[in-house]
Amino acid sequence: AQTVTQSQPEMSVQEAETVTLSCTYDTSENNYYLFWYKQPPSRQMILVIRQEAYKQQNATENRFSVNFQKAAKSFSLKISDSQLGDTAMYFCAYNRYSGGGADGLTFGKGTHLIIQP
Amino acid sequence: NAGVMQNPRHLVRRRGQEARLRCSPMKGHSHVYWYRQLPEEGLKFMVYLQKENIIDESGMPKERFSAEFPKEGPSILRIQQVVRGDSAAYFCASSTAGSQGYNEQFFGPGTRLTVL
């Protein structure tokens, strides 16, 4: 079974700083997808960024980027120029490649990120 | 285009009662997923359904929990004889039908179940 581990329960940084959230996973699959989701106090799950395992290039979405190390099974999220609105729970998630659809996501326990003014 | 709808947003039940949670997928989506989030935890996959079919229920508790996605109407997650340990946020997500590549799951706002 796949597992996702987030070892940082909480992190706090000053506004405008750069912060990196860690995630490791375990799988025997070769093709899969990795995600970072944001859950603000409203509890709505918001997709931040997605990485396909077969792509060597790290995904980037504006201020958000990932460092995907497939051999090490590591998938960290870097937030540049952090903003107060980035304060939220961040979940790392895994989905195996099923070819014709999608399976249930496997989530880590989350990291509570606090951006201080 | 409305997103994934869940209702009710908050549900309070006494121990032993039944809870029914509803999920209307996004327009054009035929796949529905249910997840449970216990306090201070990440989301845990429960069940994956297509219209009139349960595809994967590996995350569903063996007793008291059931799910359906009828041909017409919303998907229903039903919890019979609720206990305090069922108190959690229940999220529904939906996606399009299978094709090559990834079909993104879009999440609803969740239903917060409190069992007294």
Is A100 close to B91, i.e. CB distance below 8 A?
no
Count CB neighbours of B52 within 10 A: 10
A111 burial type by CB count under 10 A (0-12 exposed, 13-18 middle, 19+ buried)? buried
Q: Under DSSP, is residue A107 helix (H, G, I), strand (E, B) or coil?
A: strand
What is the pLDDT, as a whole number, of residue A31?
A: 86
What is the pLDDT, as a whole number, of residue B100?
A: 57
Distance from CA of A96 to the nearest CA of B (A): 10
The residue whose two tokens read 């429960």 is: B46
Residue of B nearest to A50 (CA): B104
Residue of B nearest to A43 (CA): B109
Whether A66 and A76 have beta carbons less than 8 Å apart is answered as: yes
pLDDT digits (tens, 9 = 90+) for A49-83: 999 998 889 999 999 999 999 999 999 999 999 99
Is A99 close to B95, i.e. CB distance below 8 A?
no
Low-confidence ranges of chain A (pLDDT < 50): none
Report CA-CA distances (Å) from A30 to A26, A88, B49.
11, 31, 25
Tell me how far apart the alpha carbons of residues A2 and A95 are, in angstroms, rounded to a whole number: 9
Interface of A with B in 36-75 (CB under 8 A): 42-47, 50, 52
The residue whose two tokens read 């958000």 is: A64
Distance from CA of A97 to the nearest CA of B (A): 8
